[in-house]
Structure 1
Amino acid sequence: MIVKAKQIPPVILKLQALSPRVPPHHNKHSFIKDDLARYLAGYKGEKSIEYYLSFLPDEEYYIFHDIRLFDGEHFFQMDTLILTKRLVCILEIKYLAGIIEFDRDFNQIIQIKNGQEKAYPDPITQLQRQKSQLNKWLKRNNLAQLPVQGFVVFSNPQTVIKSNDKSTKNIVIKSHTLHSKISDLQDQKKMDVLTQKEIKKIIRILMKYDTPLDHSIIEQYQLSRGDVLKGVICEVCNHLPLQRIHSYWYCSQCTYKSKDAHLAAVQDYQLLFGSVITSNQLKEFLEITCSSLATRILKSVSSSMEGENKGRVYTLSK
């Protein structure tokens, strides 16, 4: 049973809004594009395991995607958490391509792709830390101390995994083996640890204390508002900015016309700068001069407003 479904992480939405609005010559442009590609690959990998998890019986397995909890000292995020009456299992999912070699001596993995080597932190070490933190979280919230298990799952079917450490094969798996590996864990535990009532309690508390990461992407890359290109982007050719002609947005590059192209730009503003906005800020971001047009747009996309005249502040709808 899917308790918390997989959704596009806020960081991807923010990077998608930011990437076309940072000039190509800016010193952060390549970092932003590379990070967006990396996050998208991770999301693709995490989405791809949903098919294999769907073979687990709904009445026995409770699945949470992207759970982020606080253990009393640190936040920790798990790609996927699977809860049963007998155990809880953490999945740390990787979508790395090429050849992956585990180097346990230095707690790293080495990716060999297109003749190049690149090192990453050892996901087994990361998984062990998450298991420890989850145990700590369960204890902190006075919940039953379930056996905490876990796997590092490589979801790219073409990935070649190599390791000289025999223990690695018990932790590192390919996504197509998920169903059998989790079923085997469940069968190894002969007796239930939790009642159905206790399961419901843990589900309720997990969802209550789940704290998704939502930070400023502008601050993350140490940008200013002046670094961000303003205007409405053409949804056909990505030209920036569109011109406002009468009641349409017009693209001088591909001649595309739209009545509502500003909606995507307003969403970009919200992802980049937050939900609170004034009429002057909207005019500046959309590169328009008409106050009445700005007011009409804001009234159509806002959930509330406070203040009067020039001091009026709008809160954009989610």
Structure 2
Amino acid sequence: MQKQLYRIGAGYSGECNVDSYIERTQFPHSMKIFTDVHLCNSPKFTFQIDTLILTEQYILIIEVKNLKDSVQFIPNPPHLVQILETGDEVVLDCPVYQIESNKSNLDEWLRQRGIHLKTLGLLVLANPNTKVIDTPNDFPIIYKKQIPFYLQKLRPAENILTVNQIQELAKQIHAEQQQFNPFPLCSYYHISPNDLRKGLLCRDCHGQLQQKNRETWYCQRCSKKAEDPYNDGIRDWFMLVKNSMTSSECRSFLNLKDGNAARYIISKSNLIKKGQSTATFYISGSKLNRP
């Protein structure tokens, strides 16, 4: 899970970096650019697009990958192997397959709105030092610095959309954007909460914390101090396990001595109380942000 969260953070950083290169490209006035698009083809199916560009000549899906060292494309079955300088290998989903799937999903989303056309796809590597092995011959893959040149050359002869259609599509995309929420992460990544370490943990090395005095804790492993481990632990619960917490769940997850300790800690937090008596539970009073 920690590795996956790191990839999410690196990917988001790469997307922001690539967006800055797209902004340097000269487009027609009618062009629309959307980032981090989440659309729905059915009540239970949502697809995500890093960057979506609407112009009169084409609709382009851009997938951004922020990968270091070397990557190798394996065609059958489709996947990507990241080869690190240490010699370690990491198997990743094939980005070309992801784009082709998103093209089909977006084509269907457009078809449901009376627009029958095929979208285009582009894979952009955010890290200019990424070495690519066995690149697919039939799919465009470029580095971020090449984006302005590539987009300026991408000028099909015929228009497929009118200015009015672009404006109407832009309104529909804004109106139908789905809120992406991966929390709690155990459900999102299919991890059992029973596999999580319990108690108060160091934010630096994840060692077990010991209480030094009433207000200060220290890590047995790295000796660093922690001043508010209870709120860190509660935040971990909402991020990882569930969007509500009971007093008994707080006691178990933080390894507290009794129910009174759990109720005291909850009373000092920003949690909002719901229910009464034995049905009492608490929800978070603040929105969880991407780590």
Matched, 1:251 2:223: no
Q: What is the distance in 2 between the residues matched to 1:152 and 1:112? A: 19
Q: What is the distance in 2 between the residues matched to 1:48 and 1:76? A: 22
**2:174 corresponds to which of 193, 196, 204:** 204
**1:267 Cα deviation (Å)?**
0.8
Give the unaligned 5+ runs of structure 1: 1-14, 17-32
Secondary structure of the structure 2 residue equivalent to 1:52: helix
**1:266 Cα deviation (Å)?**
1.0
Note if contact 1:102-1:109 (Cα within 8 Å) is conserved in structure 2.
Answer: yes
Residue 129 of structure 2 corresponds to 158
**1:190 Cα deviation (Å)?**
5.0
Report the aligned-residue RMSD. 3.6
Q: What is the distance in 2 between the residues matched to 1:261 and 1:110? A: 38
Residue 19 of structure 2 corresponds to 50
Aligned residue type for 1:201: K
**1:61 corresponds to which of 32, 44, 62:** 32
Change (3 A) 1:113 1:270: closer
Secondary structure of the structure 1 residue equivalent to 2:209: coil
Q: What is the distance in 1 between the residues matched to 2:24 and 2:132? A: 25
Q: What is the distance in 2 between the residues matched to 1:106 and 1:311? A: 50
**1:252 Cα deviation (Å)?**
5.4
Query: Which aligned pairs between 1:1-318 and structure 2 lie closer than 5 A?
Result: 15-16=1-2, 33=3, 35-56=4-25, 60-70=31-41, 74-102=45-73, 107=78, 113-114=84-85, 122-140=94-112, 142-145=113-116, 148-163=119-134, 166-168=137-139, 171-185=140-154, 190=159, 192-195=161-164, 197-207=167-177, 210=178, 212=180, 214=182, 217-219=185-187, 220-225=189-194, 227-235=195-203, 238-243=206-211, 245-246=213-214, 248-251=215-218, 253=220, 254=223, 256-258=225-227, 260-289=228-257, 291=259, 294-299=262-267, 300-308=269-277, 310-317=278-285, 318=287
**1:39 Cα deviation (Å)?**
4.1
Secondary structure of the structure 2 residue equivalent to 1:49: helix
Give the unaligned 5+ runs of structure 2: none
**1:224 Cα deviation (Å)?**
4.1
**1:77 Cα deviation (Å)?**
2.6
**1:268 Cα deviation (Å)?**
0.2
Change (3 A) 1:237 1:158: closer
* Structure-1-length-normalised TM-score: 0.70
Q: What is the distance in 1 between the residues matched to 2:119 and 2:105? A: 10
Change (3 A) 1:185 1:289: same
1:184-232 CA-partner distances (Å, limit 9, x unpaired): 335755575241641442233431xx2536365435454243x322222
Identity %: 23
Aligned residue type for 1:157: P
Note if contact 2:33-2:54 (Cα within 8 Å) is conserved in structure 1.
Answer: yes
Aligned residue type for 1:154: L
Note if contact 2:41-2:108 (Cα within 8 Å) is conserved in structure 1.
Answer: no
Secondary structure of the structure 2 residue equivalent to 1:268: helix
Aligned residue type for 1:49: V
Note if contact 1:144-1:194 (Cα within 8 Å) is conserved in structure 2.
Answer: no
* Structure-2-length-normalised TM-score: 0.75
Note if contact 2:47-2:102 (Cα within 8 Å) is conserved in structure 1.
Answer: yes
